[in-house]
Amino acid sequence: MKRSRINEIMAEADATIRSYGFALPPWAYWTAAEFKARAHDARAVIEARCGWDITDYGAGRYDEMGLFLFTLRNGRLADLQRGGGMCYAEKLLISKQDQLSPMHTHVIKAEDIINRGGATLVVELYGSDPEGRFDETAGGVVMCDGIRREFEPGEKLRFAPGESVTLMPGDWHAFWGEGGDVLIGEVSTVNDDETDNIFREPIGRFADVDEDATPTHLLVSDYKTWLT
């Protein structure tokens, strides 16, 4: 993705988030230079990989297959492993109309996916085989707003604003906005986007960036190269 396009998506997403009454934390608006100057103070943010995250999954077709995310907070895997402490994470996502977030699952992370506002959120679901691999013949059970719901393999569940689904490791899922863009909340166990996203197809989690412009704000995937 071109950096200039990433900058545009950031501005559009910020306006969308604000239109629903949400506000991002102050450090979200630091420039790359400010982030570098305050890297010591922001160590917890950097190590937890909180912040802006815009991906086309390496396919170069963001409008068709992509996702905007902002990680607001993220816990520590060590706390999760010992069963106490900061074991949770929270994100805001924007799924645009007909913009696919492709079929994937997680090994560790359980997550609530919540329609926070906008159009209808469509979630396509499959179950797993006994080893946790994608199984096109497997259905399963999810919780929708705390209510048990069985699903058939490939069933598409639809969620209006205020509605949600709880997805466990091994619940294979893809999602997109139907009839318009959707602001999504994600509340989950500790999030590790580098290792805990298992895609059905061999695609990447992060975008390859063409530096045709100065970044308005850094992406989480920029931290290793820009802040060292």
Cα separation, 144 vs 137, in Å, equals 22
**What does the pLDDT look like over 102-150, one tens digit per residue?**
999 999 999 999 999 999 999 999 999 999 999 999 999 999 999 999 9
Q: Where are the domains of the chain?
A: 3-226
What pLDDT, on a 0 to 100 scale, did the predictor assign at position 205?
A: 84
pLDDT at 206 over 90: no
Residue from 115, 113, 1, 111 nearest 55 by CA: 1
State mean pLDDT over 41-67: 95
In 3D, which of 92, 93, 100, 94 has the Cα closest to residue 62?
Answer: 100
Q: Between 77 and 153, whose confidence is greater?
A: 153
Q: Are 94 and 181 in contact (CB under 8 A)?
A: yes
| pLDDT tens-place string over residues 170-193 | 999 999 999 999 999 999 999 988
Mean local confidence (pLDDT), 4-10: 98
* pLDDT greater than 90 at residue 52: yes
**What is the band of 8 on the pLDDT scale with cuts at 50, 70, 90?**
very high
What is the predicted pLDDT for the residue at 228?
77
Are 142 and 170 spatial neighbours (Cβ–Cβ below 8 Å)? no
| 190-204 pLDDT tens trace | 998 888 999 999 888
Q: Which CATH class is domain 3-226?
A: mainly beta
**What end-to-end distance do the CA atoms of the chain give, in Å?**
23
The string of pLDDT tens digits covering residues 68-112 is 999 999 999 999 999 999 999 999 999 999 999 999 999 999 999
Confidence check: pLDDT of 207 > 90 = no
